Amino acid sequence: MRFQQLLARAALGALTALSPLATTAAPDTTAAAPAAARPPIADFFSNPEFSGALLSPSGKYLAVRMGRQGQRDALAVITLADNSVKGVGSFSDADIGRFDWVNDERLVFTATDRTVGQGDARYAPGLYAANRDGSKFIQLASRAGKPFITVGGGSAIHSRELLPWNTYLLGQRNSQDSEYVYVVHRIMERPGQLDHVDLQRLNTLNGRYTSFGRPGDSESWLLDNNGEPRLTTTVDKGVSAIYYRDPADEQKWRKLVDYGTYTGGKGSFTPLTFGPDGTLYVVSHAGKDKSAVYTFNLTTNKVSDQPLVVLDGYDFRGKLIFGKNKVLGVRRVTDALDTTWLDDGMKAMQAKVDEMLPYTINLLTLPTRPESPWVLVESYSDRSPPRILLYNSDTQKLNLVGGSHPHIDPNQMGQESLVHYKARDGLDIPAWLTLPKGGGKNLPLVVLVHGGPYLRGSIWGWDPEVQFLASRGYAVLQPEFRGSTGFGAKHFRAGWKQWGLKMQDDIADGARWAVAQGTADAGRICIAGASYGGYATLMGLINDPGLYKCGIDWAGVTDINLLYDGHWNFTSDLPDAWKQYGMPTLVGDQVKDAEQLKATSPLLQAARIKQPLLLAYGGADMRVPLPHGTKFYQAVKQGNPNVEWIEYEEEGHGWALPKNRIDFWGRVEKFLDKNIGANPAQP
């Protein structure tokens, strides 16, 4: 009862009519102002206070996951007709993880533990279900054999056999009109080595399930609009194949296409979704530089000649929004995540919400089978962390549900812009430039390099790391160097086998561009990044010692051969298939490119780094294991007295714990202030 009362007070206090301008910042047109008090580090790097909300299929109820100071994250349901709140579940020794509606009466959810780092975590989230009033609670899957104690929902221990610990939610909604959900059973040979993924249809009331046959070593599955398994993608020896299960003969799988898992190939596509009429929508390059949305003819096994959705200057990333048995709109990523509505009614609703929230991007999400006027709204900008609101289409009023970082004042944040510059060989490089509040010229600059590297680094929006740096007076440049995805096949392929070479040049060319624009002070530039970004930090200090005055590397790769070969005292989770079929083409072949891999090894060239350097690694990192850091630290410190070493013993590939995030970024702040800040240390 105490939990329900506390949550009820919190929720009812949040669900109040919103004054549109009260928590929304206008564009920053002010000149640079005198330095104000810096926002506390914890405001950026504490766990979100509000981190999830989902409307029920009818839209009559809202499920919320709420963080409570000093307590575990809990799951509750708000009845929107009267604002009443019911606790669905909370754990005495865990937090609520993922959750979703099974139907309008029932939810399914997992557990997680936000108090431990990766080294102490056991990635077995368990699986639980309960009605929206907390009744009929049941544990469905084991969490490493450890049952939970639920508050107000009865015992989580049952005499029947639970699904095994490596059972996870599929992440796709079925028709949400029964008590069933789909789960996947991930079969791993060892950490990072996925053998295959089994699919099961699970009854959330009694725990019984049905398994589906597969045509090979399935890696992923796609349901159709009725919630039936319709596609699966298999992987074998670096070749992916997509199979279709025809409704007319559901015992057979028919292959539609196969292609290189890491390199693509003619006819390759990515399944996107099935429409209400059974149409398969896919994302394909179809011989063009930028990928787009096409239909796929399941009779002829061909992608349509003309695309349905094309994004100017970008590969397609997003989803189709269906309703009323048709496509209502497209949720897509260009510079930002936004929506293009095709339906006139939704266009009008979007315009009304945008009028009430004029300085943010506002994403509208409809219930799957609307029976109420409520629409979920996620509102964000570059200076405003995400907030969840409810819009009532009858009253045309907004209610604030909660925000991820409510202590952040948008008026203290910097502005982010998408810029473009030319690399030295003429390739166009997109980049994100964030300036401190008030802007300015000749600013100290942090070049923040994304990881991957074969992914898109960022999209326009509030980023705690970037805005933290901006709040300390630094300009931040985030290049989408060649090899980054999302900007076309040419841009992606231009980065193959370019670690430490042209990819590195793109980053340096961005820093020099910022100097030429008058944005950055040529004498106060620091390079920083994690994972591949950490590798690029070290190679930047080696290749361009006159450009970068310091470097910050966390969880960074220090030698490509070490990624391949590992080390006797650690296990890497890099898949063997990636090492065998992906890395030789995209990163470099250990035999054919042996000399290049030596020339681009920070570990082998550590003696060349003389600039101040901050290194941070996780003791439990299985992606870039600790010896990457320790071996490099031992090498670099012999000739460089200005190297600071941090090891978070319980952390993995990044910092999961707020205390470590706060500690790390506090150290970053001091390091930058000392070396490129307003009063850098004199040599």
Band of pLDDT at residue 89, cut at 50, 70 and 90:
confident
Band of pLDDT at residue 120, cut at 50, 70 and 90:
low
CB atoms within 10 A of CB 210: 10
Tens digit of each residue's pLDDT (9 = 90 or more) over 219-261: 999 999 989 999 999 999 999 999 999 998 888 999 999 999 9
Averaged over 268-276, what is the pLDDT?
95
Tens digit of each residue's pLDDT (9 = 90 or more) over 444-453: 999 999 999 9
Band of pLDDT at residue 11, cut at 50, 70 and 90:
very low
Task: Check if the beta carbon of residue 558 is closer than 8 Å to that of residue 628.
Answer: yes
**Residue 292, token pair as written in the block:** 């787009």
Q: CB burial class (10 A; 0-12, 13-18, 19+) of residue 31?
A: exposed
| Packing angle of the helix pair 532-543, 502-516 (nearest 10 deg) | 70
- Helix-strand-coil percent breakdown of the chain, rounded to 5? 20, 35, 45
Helical ranges in 276-425 per DSSP H: 344-356
Q: Among the ranges 147-151, 160-164, 175-179, 553-557, which has the highest mean pLDDT value?
A: 553-557
DSSP summary character for residue 410: G
Q: Does residue 12 surpass a pLDDT of 80?
A: no
Task: Check if the beta carbon of residue 337 is closer than 8 Å to that of residue 363.
Answer: yes
Query: What was the pLDDT predicted at 43?
Result: 96
Query: What was the pLDDT predicted at 150?
Result: 47
Tens digit of each residue's pLDDT (9 = 90 or more) over 477-501: 999 999 999 999 999 999 999 999 9
Band of pLDDT at residue 25, cut at 50, 70 and 90:
low
Q: Looking at the domain 413-675, which fold is it?
A: Rossmann fold (3.40.50)
Band of pLDDT at residue 174, cut at 50, 70 and 90:
confident
Tens digit of each residue's pLDDT (9 = 90 or more) over 579-608: 999 999 999 999 999 999 999 999 999 999
Tens digit of each residue's pLDDT (9 = 90 or more) over 187-197: 887 766 888 99
Query: What was the pLDDT predicted at 91?
Result: 85
Tens digit of each residue's pLDDT (9 = 90 or more) over 363-417: 999 999 999 999 999 999 999 999 999 999 999 999 999 999 999 999 999 999 9
Query: What was the pLDDT predicted at 122?
Result: 57
pTM here? 0.92
Averaged over 280-300, what is the pLDDT?
96
Backbone phi and psi for residue 24, each to the nearest 5 degrees, phi listed first: -120, 130
More confident site: 389 or 21: 389
Task: Check if the beta carbon of residue 415 is closer than 8 Å to that of residue 383.
Answer: yes
Query: What was the pLDDT predicted at 27?
Result: 61
Q: Does residue 615 surpass a pLDDT of 70?
A: yes
**Residue 492, token pair as written in the block:** 């992606």
Tally of CA atoms within 13 A in the half-sphere of 629 that contains its CB:
32
Q: Does residue 14 surpass a pLDDT of 50?
A: no
Task: Check if the beta carbon of residue 143 is closer than 8 Å to that of residue 156.
Answer: no
